[in-house]
A and B are shown apart, each in its own frame.
Chain A
Amino acid sequence: MSLAKRIIPCLDVDNGRVVKGVQFVNIRDAGNPVEVAKRYDEQGADEITFLDITATAHDRNTTVHMVEEVASQVFIPLTVGGGIRTVEDIRTMLNAGADKVAINSAAIFNPGFVQEACDAFGSQCIVVAIDAKKVSPEGEANQWEIFTHGGRKETGIDAIEWAKKMESLGAGEILLTSMDRDGTKSGFDLELTRAISDSTQIPVIASGGVGELDHLCEGILEGHAEAVLAASIFHFGQHTVQEAKQAMQAKGIEVRL
């Protein structure tokens, strides 16, 4: 009897619509975020994360309405990330019904923002998203650095030190994405995940690289993650969240079924 490890489907949204294609059997409009969120809820998703890739302020308004609509019909935790830069951005998302916001680049440009956000809203709703890439040559001691702009720009910041710093500023959770693995379907960077998880006391969500159910189990068992995030294996009907949980339970991982 203890805390269950979490499975979190992640959806990209643009102008209030789910993009990147989500295909469920018997859903006519796969881009409707409410339908998609409901379906994942029915499958037993423990949380849902929306990544807002919207560029303009007008489109962001649409995203806010989307969050409102989802939150009035889906009663599990919702996280919204992407473009969260000010305390006002956070307030808007929380008021719309988000439970947590993920702060990414704004934390790098101004680490004080994380503290400001935690002071204003509490650590429980502040997730810091870390995009990390391995920078150490093969055969040498592992080292990862923070990258921005979808993994294109390096910052020179050590990923482990950064995670510890974010924890000390009050972050309640870390969403850790391996930019080396993202989109590869070759599994999480387990060494990275374990390194960050073991050096912080706050929960770490592993992200980037899931291509099969075993990868999710590895993230928990070998990466020491508290939660695992995935997109494409759920979106295209390859697996349901329920199947993922059954696979995890078969490996002795405690899940909510």
Chain B
Amino acid sequence: MDQKLVAVIDYGMGNLRSVAKAAEHVAPNNTRIIVTHDPKVIESADAIIFPGQGAAKACMNALQETGMIHPIQHAVQEKPFLGICMGLQVLMSHSDENSGTPCLDIISGNVKHFELEKAFPELKVPHMGWNQIHQTQEHALWHNIPQDSRFYFVHSYYVQPKKETFIAATTTHGTSFPSALSHKNLFAIQAHPEKSAEHGLQLFQNFLQWNG
């Protein structure tokens, strides 16, 4: 069987180890998971995982400093690409975080802060913990994941894509927000599959078998 190489993009932030470990846990024998910031490895990889944590500006700065912007823009056009949490948000055009941060603009749309204080004073921000993911379209990455399964979330901002057809799932925290987007070979999720027990591992397994 051919070797398959999956690159987890390292830009000096976030819990890459957890993401790589979770993917390794379910990876078939012929699949190698590599954490890398080498553009050549990203170029040669068969699939890309783009994790993210922290604030939008710090994330964009780190991508810039490590020279990851171009390799990401390139990879997202042509091979299976999984964005996680901040790795979803920075794909958008613009984030309201840090008084406004221009992002990668791979998906048209913005990243907004949860404004819940008035309408839902009992709800907390960050949205932290296990919430349900309501699948709004069929997708290979939802294989064997029951409708409305709970995933682990930690975030204070959420994405608003211009095209609703990109929305692959929604979640409700006061307001209903898009919790996963998909477009061709790109799939990105707001929750942390690496911390979402069996359903999260299933999502990684699905991704590793997906041809985009």
Contacts and interface: CB of A to CB of B under 8 A. Distances in A.
A257 to B, nearest CB: 9
Name B's interface SS: mixed
B94 interface: no
A202 B130 contact: no
Given A99-B195, A124-B154, A6 B17 contact: no
A219 interface: no
Contacts, number: 99
Contacts of B197: 41, 75-76
A4 B124 contact: no
Contact of A75 (B22, B54, B156): B22
Interface string A36-63: 0000010000100000000000000000
B55 interface: yes
A173 B155 CA distance: 12
Nearest to B194: A75
A96 B56 CA distance: 23
A1 B125 contact: no
- B126, B128, B150, B172 pick with most chain A CB within 10 angstroms: B128
Interface in B22-38: 22, 25
B129 A122 contact: no
A173 B128 contact: yes
B134 interface: yes
Contacts of B18: 71, 75, 97, 99
A121 B54 contact: yes
B84 to A, nearest CB: 13
Given A2-B173, A3-B131, A6-B130, A203 B195 contact: no
A224 interface: yes
Interface in B115-135: 117, 122-132, 134
Contacts of B124: 201-203, 226
Interface in A52-108: 68, 71-73, 75-77, 94-97, 99
Nearest to A42: B197
A100 B22 CA distance: 17
B106 interface: no
A203 B173 contact: no
Name A's interface SS: loop
Interface in B48-67: 53-55, 58
A128 interface: no
A256 interface: yes
Contacts of B196: 75-76
Interface in A166-225: 172-173, 201-203, 224
A227 interface: yes
Contacts of A122: 53-55, 58
B130 A256 contact: yes
B131 to A, nearest CB: 5
B187 interface: no
Nearest to B201: A75
A130 interface: no
A203 B130 CA distance: 13
Contact of A201 (B117, B150, B154): B117
B195 A172 contact: no
Given A2-B172, A201-B125, A226-B124, A77 B54 contact: no
B81 interface: no
A123 interface: yes
A125 interface: yes
Given A122-B58, A172-B154, 7 more contacts: A1-B148, A6-B129, A75-B196, A77-B192, A123-B156, A125-B15, A203-B129
